Structure formats: structure tokens, C-alpha cells
Amino acid sequence: AISLWIRLKLHESPAYTRMEAEGGARRAPYREAFLTWKNGRWVLIALAGIMFAQGAVWYAGYFYTRFFMERVLKVDTNTVDQLILLITLASAAMYVFFGWLSDRVGRKPVMLFGMILALVAFFPGFHALTQAANPALAEAQARAPVVVVADPATCAVQFDPVGKAAFSSSCDIAKSVLSNAGVSYRNEPAAPGAVAEVTVGSIVVPSVEATGLPAAGIKAARADVDARIKAALTEAGYPAKADPARLNFGLCFLILMVFMTAACALYGPQAAALVELFPTRVRYTAMSLPYNIGTGWVGGLLPAASFALVAASGNIYFGLWYSVAFTLIAVGVTLIWLPETRGRDLDAIE
């Protein structure tokens, strides 16, 4: 309701109002925005230089950290909610601060700071989050490493953004169970056609081949493998959930605030930087494509893509390479092709 009220109170920008009064509004803004190189190149630069980072950094900081704590580290949902609420409140002023700072020193350096901070923090930050939130998991992985022995030809890439795929090979079932349990594992090849096995320390758990079975049969096979693997993990000392008594709440908060700082440094100047790239007559249209692809596709696919990377590699941190890859692209494009736009006269952009 508050958001709707704010939007109802908004007016067109002075630049657009003047242009419309002078008869300068375009009847074919899509064609001019996307099919002319003059504007099309800025659309591509905005997408790869700003919005790739937005989807990777902001979504990793807000959403993947939550996914990681709940699904991988098995932290209690109420505790995760408290952490997310606190970092949301604590970071609110940083959006304004970094926007203000970009008015003083420029859009590019502030956004680059956010991107580079995220790149530096991704892997050590998530490793530190494991130690702070569920140290027993880190200890168990060092004490009783897990190995999946399977025919590589039977192992699929488990990328399933809509949740409709049925991964039914013995390899896929074993890896899916372990990935959902938040357990890292090492892959070893088996003989062609062999049924996959999971080794937890000295305990060997055969998987089940369910290819060709009806949906009910696949579900039953997965439940059977899930129960036997979890029993082996429990016997080897893997925690079923994070121990609240060992969770370092303050350290978790500080780690998450590092990611929030990176996200806010990128997001604070973002709106101004996008506005200052395009002429008034196509500005809103031209901004829409990179913004929605960056947030909706790059950010929206992050959990599914990261899970697929984890399942394929066996490393609970390997999914971070999705965010790293898009952020690296954004840093390169921003450094080389994105101009500094602070102070531009919006009426003079052509």
C-alpha cells in the first residue's frame, strides 16, 4: 500500500515534461532504443557492466546467503529471519550513503568498489559463514570426507529452474541427496553402467538406479537412498541441523554486512548511472531491458544454477562461481566501456 501510494504521487521528470511539450516524444521508442547502434550499445554496456553485477552481487548477498544458511548449513529459519531483518535495517542507510558518495566522486568508482568487494569476499565469506553458523559441519567434513563413486556418463547437470525435471539415475539421486543435505563430496569414476555408491568415512551406501521407473517409483527410490545416506552421515558425526549453542550470531551478522556493503555500493548509484546513459526520449524503454534481464534472469536463476554447480562438483561452495563469473564480466565491462556519467546534463544526451 505504501509503495502504491508513493507511485501514485510521482510525476514525470522535468526533462520528459519539457520534451513532450516541445513535441519530441518518440512514437517508436523500442526501435530507437534497441535497433540503433547509438543506443543499443549503451543497452548492452548497461546490461553487462551494471546489471550483471546487480543480479550476481545483490542477489547473492540477500538471497543466496539465506539459501546457503537454511539449505546447506541447516540454520533454524527463525534465526535466519532475524539475521536478514537486522542486515536489512542496518543496510538501509547505506543505499543513501553510496548514492550521495557517487554524487561526489562518481558513479564508476563506487560501483566498482561494490563489485570488487564482493569478488574478494565471496569465497572467504561463505567459508567463514560455515564456521560461524555450523562449525560441526565443517568439522565432520574434515573428519569423515564423503565420496561419490559413479559412472560419469550417468551423472546429469541438475539445472532445474522450474522444478519439473526427474533426475533418476543412481548418480543423480545420490548427488541430489548429498547436495540437499549440505554435504561436500568428492567425485570418483566407476565402471560403465555401475550403480553409484556413496562413501561416508568408512561407511559405504549403495544408491539405487531408478531410470525408467514411474514417478512414484522414483520418489520411493529417492526416499530410500535419502534415509540410508542420512543414517550414514549421522553415524559419521554430521549434524542434522546447526547447533544454536555453537552459532556465533554476531559474526554471522558481520559477515552478511560485508555482502550488504558490496550490494549497497552497487545499488546506491545504479539508478542515476542508468538514467545518465540514455537520451530522454528513449530513457525508460532503454533501461527496461538490461534492468529486467539483470535482476530477473541473472539474479533469478542464481539459486538453481548454483545448486546445479554444487551437485556437479560436490563442493558446497562451488555455486559461488556463478556470481563470480557475472561479477568479473561486469568489472571488465565497467572498467573498459562504461563512461563516468556524474554531472551529465540529461537534456543534452543524444
pLDDT single digits (tens) 237-263: 999 999 999 999 999 999 999 999 999
Domain hosting residue 199, numbered range: 145-235
Q: Of the candidates 207, 235, 263, which is a domain's last residue?
A: 235
81 with 107, same domain? yes
- Separation between Cα atoms, residue 315 and residue 185, nearest integer Å: 6
The three cell numbers of residue 183 are 554435504
- Say which range, 14-28, 67-81, 115-129, has the weakest mean pLDDT: 14-28
List, in order, residues 6 or more apart from 317 with CB less than 8 Å away.
123, 126, 127, 184
Q: Are 295 and 156 in a shared domain?
A: no
Beta bridge partners of 204: 199
Residue 219: count of CB within 10 angstroms of its CB = 14
pTM of the predicted protein model:
0.88
| Structural domains counted in the chain | 2
Q: Considering only CA atoms, which of 102, 59, 11, 19 is closest in space to residue 278?
A: 19
- Rounded to whole angstroms, the Cα distance separating 280 from 45 reads 18
Q: How many other C-beta atoms lie within 10 A of the C-beta of residue 247?
A: 20
pLDDT class of 78 with cuts at 50, 70, 90: very high
Rounded Cα–Cα distance for residues 316 and 134 (Å): 13
Task: Say if residues 282 and 26 touch (Cβ distance below 8 Å).
Answer: yes
**Residue 1: inside a domain:** no
Tell the burial category of 339 from Cβ atoms under 10 Å away from its Cβ (0-12, 13-18, 19+).
middle
Which position has the higher pLDDT, 162 or 322? 322
Q: How large is the average pLDDT for residues 164-190?
A: 92
Is residue 294, in this structure, part of any structural domain at all? yes
CATH number at residue 117: 1.20.1250.20
Q: Domain boundary at 198, 216, 235, which?
A: 235
Choice between 275 and 205, residue whose per-residue pLDDT is larger: 205
**Helix/strand/coil percent split, the chain, to 5:** 65, 5, 30
Kindly list the strands in the beta sheet with 203-206, ordered across the sheet, starting from the edge strand earlier in the chain. Answer: 186-189, 146-150, 197-200, 203-206
- 3 domain residue, yes or no: no
- CATH code assigned at 183: 3.40.30
User: Both 328 and 195 in a single domain?
Assistant: no
